[in-house]
């Protein structure tokens, strides 16, 4: 029984560490939506799986490794939520792959998709002709967001986590100066105060970090 005791202790610590990290980082990590989420899950699983059966690594060393990895992931998460360049580096950005029935081949290839894969993603959403698509955006997690011809203006975050979505801003033919002015008109000190900002049918909807909901 003494032989299996260290394994049981490590398994219990690993399970506890996994639960704590998921709660600290957010439940979304159970279904990864970004590269950071996926790497976090892969490495954490590898650490736990690799250490449990290793007799050369003590329980104390195991705990230290879990703490260091959790701190690294939390640091990266904090940085990407407060710096758009780091966010782009870690998560990438949504790519416009189809607009007004025209496929942006360069964007599709840069996203690592073949023509067959793109058409398969369209068929998955019940779209069988590119000509019916007003706009298709490939999200960071590989999912395709489609707006069909005849639909209302996009409902897409123009601000996320206090950071401007420049691709969405470009799509509606606006610039950062215009957005900053609109934010100030609604009594926000800066764009960093906004948790989510949406542009829907010509109107701006802002939700701040303080649960205030305003619209223009």
pLDDT tens digits for 105-163?
Answer: 988 998 888 999 999 999 988 888 898 888 888 877 778 888 777 665 556 688 887 88
Q: With cut-offs at 50, 70 and 90, classify the pLDDT of residue 200.
A: confident
> Does residue 182 carry a pLDDT above 80?
yes
Q: Are 154 and 147 in contact (CB under 8 A)?
A: yes
pLDDT in tens, 17-27: 777 777 776 65
Q: Enter the DSSP assignment of 44.
A: H
Domains of the chain, start order: 5-89 (no CATH), 93-148 (3.30.240.20), 156-215 (3.30.240.20)
> Does residue 211 carry a pLDDT above 70?
no
For residues 18-42, average pLDDT: 65
Question: Model-level pTM?
Answer: 0.53
pLDDT in tens, 52-76: 777 788 888 888 888 888 888 888 8
For the beta sheet containing 133-138, the strands, ordered from the edge strand earlier in sequence to the opposite edge, are 102-103, 95-99, 133-138, 144-148
């Amino acid at each position: 029984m003494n032989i299996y005791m260290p394994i049981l202790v490590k398994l219990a610590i690993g399970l506890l560490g996994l639960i704590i990290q998921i709660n600290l980082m957010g439940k979304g990590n159970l279904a990864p939506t970004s590269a950071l989420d996926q790497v976090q899950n892969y490495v954490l699983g590898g650490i736990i799986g690799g250490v449990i059966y290793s007799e050369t690594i003590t329980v104390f060393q195991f705990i230290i490794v879990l703490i260091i990895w959790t701190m690294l992931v939390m640091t990266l998460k904090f940085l990407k939520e407060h710096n758009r360049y780091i966010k782009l580096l870690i998560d990438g950005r949504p790519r416009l792959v189809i607009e007004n029935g025209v496929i942006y081949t360069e964007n599709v290839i840069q996203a690592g998709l073949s023509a067959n894969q793109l058409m398969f993603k369209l068929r998955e959403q019940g779209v069988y002709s590119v000509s019916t698509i007003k706009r298709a955006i490939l999200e960071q997690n590989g999912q395709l967001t489609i707006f069909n011809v005849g639909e209302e203006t996009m409902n897409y975050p123009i601000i996320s986590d206090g950071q401007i979505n420049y691709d969405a801003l470009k799509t509606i033919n606006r610039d950062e100066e215009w957005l900053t002015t609109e934010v100030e008109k609604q009594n926000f000190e800066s764009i960093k105060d906004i948790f989510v900002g949406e542009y829907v049918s010509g109107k701006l909807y802002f939700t701040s970090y303080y649960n205030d909901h305003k619209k223009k």
